[in-house]
Amino acid sequence: MIILGLDPSLSCTGWGVIRAEGSRISHVANGQVKTDAKAPMAARLAHLQAELARVIAHHRPDRAAAEEVFLNKNPQSTLKLAQARGAVLAACGAAYDGTGLSVREHAARAVKKSVVGTGGAEKAQVQAMLKVLLPGVKVVGADAADALAVAIADAHLG
């Protein structure tokens, strides 16, 4: 099974693709989609959706996984995250000639617990475990690392 992990963000959305065969996982690819902060919101969201549509078309995942939305103290940040997440989910929904790619959602604490063993793990601990679980993988950035962690958690949580 090919799983696409997603870490939505308006500024930089991370994505990670893994192959899960039973309890074994292996890295397929990872990356980040950055948007221009000076561009209009609609253009940023369209860019995000188009780039993720390309990732989906290229890797042909069986399913996708994303972290559940969390509320920030800043309502504007929460709104921007929700809009980016909408573009990401729209790319999944439009995949495969409109039949769609199913997306499972996981709480951030569940992702951390699945990857590290504790729901209160720090980002550095998650990234260190990725090196253990996916030896030799070059992760392109923190957002891609988070996306790979979501994919791994999805594989573990079945």
Check whether 154 is labelled as a binding-site residue.
no
Check whether 21 is labelled as a binding-site residue.
no
Residues in the chain: 158
Q: Which of 62, 105, 122, 143 is catalytic?
A: 143
Token readout for 113 is: 């617990």
Neighbours of 66 (CB within 10 A): 25
Check whether 143 is labelled as a binding-site residue.
yes
Q: Is 143 a catalytic residue?
A: yes
Residue where the block lists tokens 């998650």? 126
14 CB-side CA count, 13 A: 19
Q: Is 97 a catalytic residue?
A: no
Q: Which of 51, 67, 146, 154 is catalytic?
A: 67
Return the closest-CA partner of residue 103 out of 22, 6, 13, 1.
Answer: 6
Q: Which of 7, 51, 146, 154 is catalytic?
A: 7
Q: Is 154 a catalytic residue?
A: no
Enumerate the active-site residues.
7, 67, 143
Pick out the residues of the known binding site: 7, 67, 143
Pick out the residues of the known binding site for Mg(2+): 7, 67, 143
